[in-house]
Amino acid sequence: MKACVAAVLWTTVLFAGGCKSNKDAKKEPDKGSGSAAQTAQGSAQGSAQPGGSGAAPAGAVELAITCGAVGKEQKICKEGVAAWEQKTGNKVKVVSVPASSSEQLALAQQLLAAGASDVDVFNIDVVWPGILGTFFLDLKEYSKGAEKEHFEAIVANNTIDGKLVAMPWFTDAGVLYYRKDLLEKHKEKVPTTWEELAATAKKIQDAERKAGHKEMWGYVFQGNAYEGLTCNALEWVASHGGGTVIDAQGKVTIDNPDAAAALETAASWIGTISPPGVLSYQEGESHGIFLAGDAVFMRNWPYAYGLAQEDKSPVKDKVGISVLPKGAGAGARSAAALGGWNLAVSKFSKHPKEAAELALYLTSPEEQKRRAIAANLQPTIVSLYQDKDVVAANPLFTSLVDTFKAAVPRPATATKGKYNRVSTEFWNAAHAVLSKQAKAKDSLADLKGKLEGMSRGGTW
Ligand code: GLC
């Protein structure tokens, strides 16, 4: 009854009776997990009923989908799902998930390993195809070639052993947000190196505090020990010319002086330009501070721009976006981590055809256009970057298109099913340096040993 173990942990997902797997659908759930499922009953969020009537037409099915939980993701997903319900007469539950990609992965792994059919369509991070691919259907059998309109690199990323395990939904790259008004007021320029960023952040932070804005900080980012820190730390390391932890051939490269310098630089920000609490910040906490007007700079993904521009936002029209700064050293360059999310259909779904149709609808050009305009979720369909409405809603991002094209992938393809273990070791090593529990040099030497042990001589 592993599915019921998942129910205990993923309390927001499962609803009463949702503790059955295809394998053991006829058995009763055991007592403990049954009650956990009941506790969770109220939290599963269904979307609007089709046509408002609640009565599903003959042949209609009921599906469940996970969507993201950062910024406007839930809302925007529910709107898309409701449109598909209207169109098809089927019903879809939009399941609540935690905001953290790492927690979402743990829960998806437990559900899928148990063969649970509770979720038909999974929203999967760009680094998961190698980890979860075997649990998903080949969408090429349903797509009629729709994937050809998407960025080739993402389609390749989502293709495992010739199977298209997920349709690209939106793409992400780390960017630098800055307060245009504060830079102007303090006669400063947008920083292009981390050194400039630290100096500008400190100068403006100190001056603003002196003028009475006591909560002001210079720089916020994602420093919690989770996948988001892997993205931030990869950007620091790559921007110092320190590589990508593991190279495309599977060789562990992280133990090098540029990588150590990058982590020591980041550690020097804690308590000086970044609040000590940044060590537990994910995306939401970072944008919370920045959007309240309490930070000069922020590292985040494109979604936060839409939130900054809402009418109620204290920083409306005051925010600019640029590429992330470069480090020092010969190989220094601006580096943005490649992120993004995709829709996959579980092989345990009882309604694979409809589930695939839902995934294809939500990833279609019309939906991606709507999501790019309403929530700044960057399309994976190449032609939408020429669409004038998309460009008008995302002026700053379309000007950063080269950044998106050159975004640095995490070492997920090379490490296959072990990527999450690799990433966990990397974010823990980075977190130890940020929290001053270890020197970067020692932390990276230790990390190298662990990763080499995991890879058994480079064969991941
Ligand atoms: C964003 C990215 C995703 C990444 C996550 C880390 O959601 O799209 O790829 O893993 O942030 O927090």
Examine residue 10 and state whether it is found in any structural domain, yes or no: no
Out of 227, 230, 376, mutate this one to test ligand 1's pocket (max ligand atoms within 8 Å of CB): namely 227
Residue burial 390-422, b: 16+ Cβ < 10 Å; e: rest: beebbeebbebeebbeebbbbbbbbbeebbbeb
Task: Give me the count of residues in the chain.
Answer: 460
317 and 260 co-located in one domain: yes
CATH number of the domain bearing residue 367: 3.40.190.10
Residue 16 inside a domain? The answer is: no
Work out the pLDDT band at 36, boundaries 50, 70, 90: very low
Alpha-carbon distances of 162 from 69, 165, 214, rounded to whole Å: 30, 9, 56
304 and 393 co-located in one domain: no
Q: Which domain holds residue 426?
A: 175-335+413-455
Tell me, yes or no, whether 148 and 184 share the same domain.
no
> How far does the centroid of ligand 1 lie from the alpha carbon of residue 437, in Å?
26
Which amino acid appears at position 382 of this protein?
V
Residue 428 lies in a domain: yes
To test the pocket of ligand 1, the residue of 67, 74, 104, 125 to mutate (highest count of ligand atoms within 8 Å of its CB) is 125
Angle between helices 101-113 and 227-239 (to 10 degrees): 130
The 3-class secondary structure across 177-198, one letter per residue, is EEEHHHHHHCCCCCCCEHHHHH
Q: How far is ligand 1, taken at its centre, from the CA of residue 101, in Å?
A: 6
Q: Would 78 be classed as within a structural domain?
A: yes
- Atom number, ligand 1, closest to the C-alpha of residue 301: 1
Report how far Cα 421 is from the mean position of its chain's Cα atoms: 17
Give the number of domains in the chain: 2
The reported pTM is: 0.90
- The pLDDT score that the predictor gives to residue 210 is 98
Q: Are 313 and 442 in a shared domain?
A: yes
For residue 188, tell me if it sits in a domain: yes
Residue 12 covered by a domain: no
The protein residue with its alpha carbon nearest to ligand 1, atom 3, reads 339
How many angstroms does the Cα of residue 23 sit away from the middle of ligand 1? 32
Statement to judge: residues 132 and 211 lie in one domain: no
Same domain for 279 and 214: yes
Where do we find the tokens 């790259």?
173
| One domain for residues 56 and 159 | yes
Q: Judge contact between 80 and 370, C-beta under 8 A.
A: yes
pLDDT (tens digit per residue) in 283-302: 999 999 999 999 999 999 99
Residues 154 and 85 in one domain: yes
Q: Is the pLDDT of residue 12 over 80?
A: no
Whether the per-residue pLDDT at 215 is higher than 70: the answer is yes
Please give the pLDDT value at position 5. Answer: 33
| 418 & 300 share domain | yes
Question: What pLDDT sits at residue 44?
Answer: 36
180 and 160: one domain?
Answer: no
Residue 170 CA: nearest ligand 1 atom is: 8
- The answer, yes or no, to whether residue 132 has pLDDT greater than 90, is yes
Q: Is 231 in the pocket of ligand 1 (CB under 6 A)?
A: yes
Q: What is the pLDDT of residues 153-210, one digit of tens each?
A: 999 999 999 999 999 999 999 999 999 999 999 999 999 999 999 999 999 999 999 9
pLDDT score, position 201:
98
| Residue of the CA atom closest to atom 1 of ligand 1 | 339
DSSP per-residue letters across 47-100: -PPGGGT-PPPTT--EEEEE---STTHHHHHHHHHHHHHHHH--EEEEE---S-
pLDDT digits 0-9 by tens, 240-289? 999 999 999 999 999 999 999 999 999 999 999 999 999 999 999 999 99
Q: Is the pLDDT of residue 426 over 60?
A: yes
Is residue 150 domain-shared with residue 181, that is, in the same domain?
Answer: no
Residue whose Cα lies nearest atom 12 of ligand 1: it is 228
State which of 67, 101, 232 you would mutate to test the pocket of ligand 1, scoring each by most atoms of that ligand within 8 A of its C-beta.
101
Does the CB atom of residue 126 touch ligand 1 within 6 A?
Answer: yes
Taking the centre of ligand 1 as the mean of its atom positions, its distance from the CA of residue 55, in whole angstroms, is 37
Q: What is residue 57's predicted lDDT score, i.e. its pLDDT?
A: 75
Percent of the chain with pLDDT over 90: 83
Counting residues of the chain whose pLDDT is more than 70, the rounded percentage is 88
CA–CA separation, 218 and 390 (whole Å): 31
Asked, for residue 184, whether it belongs to a domain, the answer is yes
Look at residues 333, 337, 324, 136 and name the one whose alpha carbon lies nearest to residue 227: 337
Average pLDDT taken over every residue of the chain:
89
Distance, CA of 301 to CA of 320 (rounded, Å): 13
More confident residue, 123 or 35: 123
Residue 103 sits in the same domain as residue 79: yes
Separation of CA 211 and ligand 1 centre (Å): 36
Residue 20: left if φ>0, alpha if ψ -120 to 50, beta else—which one?
A: beta
Distance CA 195, CA 193 (A): 5
Residue 460 lies in a domain: no
